[in-house]
Amino acid sequence: MRPWLTLGVPALLALPDEGVAAKLALAQTYRHATIEPAQRDAWIATARILRTALSGPEVAGWTVMLEYDLLRLEKRADCVILTDRAVLVLEIKDGAAGHAPADRRQAEDYALDLRDFHAGCRDWPVVPILVATLAPAAPFEPPLIWQGVPPPFPANAAGLAGTLRAIQAAIGPPAAPLDHAAWLAAPYRPVPNVLEAATMLFDRHRSAEMVSARADAANLTRTTEAVRRAIEAARTASRHVIVFVTGIPGAGKTLCGLNIVFGSLRNDGAAFLTGNAPLVEVLRESLARRAAEGGQGRTKARRDAVTALQNVHRFLEQYVEKPTEIPEARVIVFDEAQRAWDRAQATKPSQRRGASKLTSSEPAHTLEIMERHADWSVIVALIGNGQEINTGEAGLAEWGRVIEASPGWRAVAAPRALSAPLAAQRLADGPRPWLALDPDLDLTVPMRSVRDPQGAPWVDAVLAGDVQAAARIAGQPESVPYFVTRDLHAMRAALRGFSRGLRRPGLVASSGARRLRAEGLGVQAADIPHWFLDRWPDIRASDALETYATEYDCQGLELDQVGLAWGGDLLRPHGEWVMRSLSGARWNTTRNETDRAFTLNTYRVLLTRARYETVIWVPPGSPQEDPWHDSTRSAAELDAVERYLLACGARPLSPAHRADPAPVLL
């Protein structure tokens, strides 16, 4: 992304304030946006403030950028200034008499966004400054600034020049000055979360900008192009095709699917189907809220979102009830397709709605429904490897069985679809005449973890019981952002410290962790859209850190920082994982291999929800010597979990930990 107006300080000073506003107004018209008088007045005020603050000869070599577009945040920083030694991010509140906490968070968030996603910021301090023009003057003695993003510095209009000089002095002269031309040419590579991505893709104007900005994500770009090729081939050859997109947790499968539905195929009525009811609720509500904020009709936005984002179970029921009806969409994206119900689950009486009577597995019904298109149709099946978490999930094997029995269908998948260790996770046991292989359909580069791509491999090693591999991954220069504590209060305090700016923390726990209430955490989130979309002081919001989401609530979604409460359903007392379920007043050991895998996958989902840090709280438990000893939460068993995580390379949480490591740009 580029700023709307970039000027050297001499050029800025040579323009009248109204001239600066006119150039910005012209830039706004290029973006098909209307210009309000209040916006023009704000630009004039900004130009006036900068003219006073940048009048000294020592700043003549600085570069000023106005209205710097931060794509991921869907907002613009008022002003970004390049000095010889720093990137200064100014948020200017004209007429404000104080530095409000919300404004501080906004300024800090802009600086954090640049630090994490702009390649030119990698080796330089990025300093947020909140200018409340009418705030009273206050003594200002900044600490030494080395790198990263310090807390926002307050300033007023009259004192901004002094603030800038003080910040420069606190940084000190660099060995070599910041190269402004190189900085301006460096890419800005935002990594939006699922909600941000859906909102931008839903907006036709923002969609192209996001795709362009993420052009560096080669793995995602290749996969999206491979899907597009397969769809075009099916259209040209009049075939029915299933495209399987596999990938590690956090690699962008959902983003890929949303891009298909909201991108070039939007006019074909493509639909995103998922059995993840919380994901559908949160996405729909997010799109409706954003439309209302932008002055659009909330009702229409919600209706459009309902059309594009559908619950797969309700979709199948609708067309099973109407066997002659042809779906509007020729292309459907089946999210988490490995979790589609098998025949036993799909035909349970408890799953029936009204007259709907599924007679086979969900994959079988999906093929039959989409084959009603006489010429061509495509099913894009997104496969989350190792994320099956519930009874009745058919896995890839059921899709392969159904395709084998359906002569009119072909499939294309990555080789990974044939090589999974468990039979249920393999599309087939070897080559098949109906299957073509395309390595580009496998997403192997993690995108969710912004600073450290090693989080997912570390989690795999931890859950596989491979201590040496986990420790080796954690010992790499950019160590994995996982911390361990036994103190619930310390976990909450750390999450609030890590979650700077507008970043969102939240608590998660396994649905099987049913003794957490005895440890002081026993309230599951009741309204997931409020939990993911609202902010403190709304007590329902995730960042209130009062309620927790389970694996069912948060799969497919993400948070910036995660506090994971470890439960008694997964322990490691003697060097092996022990899975348990609570029945009445006692734990029962889980021996069924499928159910054991579900428990491991539950923790895989929970351990990979964070874009930044994960703090794992292992409850202290009940000591054996306590006269009120509670055998359902043995301290010794939980001590063993802590020792194992630390041996794997998770770091002990300490009061010194604060979220400001050097960035790792994707």
Q: Averaged over 503-530, what is the pLDDT? A: 93
Q: Tell me how far CA of residue 60 lies from CA of 240, 364, 369, 528, in angstroms.
A: 64, 69, 67, 52
Lowest mean pLDDT among 14-23, 102-111, 258-267: 258-267
Q: Report which secondary-structure segment, H or E, holds 457.
A: helix 455-463
User: Per-residue pLDDT for 516 more than 70?
Assistant: yes
Report the pLDDT averaged over residues 317-330.
90
pLDDT band with cut points at 50, 70 and 90 for residue 140: confident
pLDDT above 80 for 268: no
Q: Residue type at 661?
A: P
Q: Mean pLDDT, to the nearest integer, of 78-101?
A: 95
DSSP string, 253-310: HHHHHHHHHHTTTGGGT-EEEES-HHHHHHHHHHHHHHHHHTTS-HHHHHHHHHHHEE
Across the range 604-622, mean pLDDT stands at 94
DSSP state of 564: E
User: Region 497-514: what's the mean pLDDT?
Assistant: 95
pLDDT grade, residue 18 (50/70/90)? very high
pLDDT value of position 665: 37
3-state helix, strand, coil in the chain (%, to 5): 45, 20, 40
Q: What is the mean pLDDT of the chain?
A: 86
Quickly tell me which residue has 């010992």 as its tokens: 475
Confidence of residue 664 (pLDDT cuts 50, 70, 90): very low
Question: 37 pLDDT band (50/70/90 cuts)?
Answer: confident
Domains assigned to the chain: 3-185 (no CATH), 194-443 (3.40.50), 455-652 (no CATH)
* Continuous H helices in 502-570: 528-533, 551-554
State the average pLDDT over residues 248-270: 72
For residue 146, count other CB atoms closer than 10 A to its CB.
Answer: 10
Question: For the ranges 80-84, 465-469, 475-479, 578-582, which has the lowest average pLDDT?
Answer: 475-479
Residue 156, pLDDT above cutoff 80? yes
**What string of H, E and C letters represents the secondary structure of 74-118?**
CEEEEEEEECCCCEEEEEEECCCCCCCHHHHHHHHHHHHHHHHHE
CA atoms of 72 and 238, how far apart (whole Å): 38
Kindly state the tokens that stand for 97. 């008499």
pLDDT at 443: 86
- Give the mean pLDDT of 277-281: 83
Q: What is the pLDDT of residue 388?
A: 57
Convert the pLDDT of each residue in 325-360 to its tens digit: 999 889 999 988 888 888 888 877 655 444 447 889
Q: Output the pLDDT for position 288.
A: 79
pLDDT greater than 50 at residue 98: yes
439, pLDDT greater than 90: yes
Q: Looking at residue 660, what is its pLDDT?
A: 46
Residue 479's pLDDT band (boundaries 50, 70, 90)? low
Q: What long-range pairs does 142-145 form, CB within 8 A, spacing at least 24?
A: 142/166, 142/167, 142/170, 143/170, 144/170, 144/171, 144/172, 145/86, 145/170, 145/171
Q: Which residue has the higher pLDDT, 455 or 499?
A: 499
Q: Over range 276-280, report the average pLDDT.
A: 82
Q: Which residue has the higher pLDDT, 242 or 426?
A: 242
Provide mean pLDDT across the span 493-507: 94
pLDDT average, residue stretch 15-39 = 83
CB of 364 within 8 A of CB of 302? no
* Most distant CA atoms of the chain, gap in Å: 80
Contacts of 299 (CB under 8 A, 6+ apart): none
Tens of pLDDT along 102-121? 999 999 999 999 998 898 99
- pLDDT tens for residues 352-411? 444 447 889 999 999 999 999 999 999 999 987 665 556 667 788 899 999 999 999 999
Q: What is the mean pLDDT of the segment spanning 494-506?
A: 94
Q: What is the pLDDT of residue 282?
A: 87
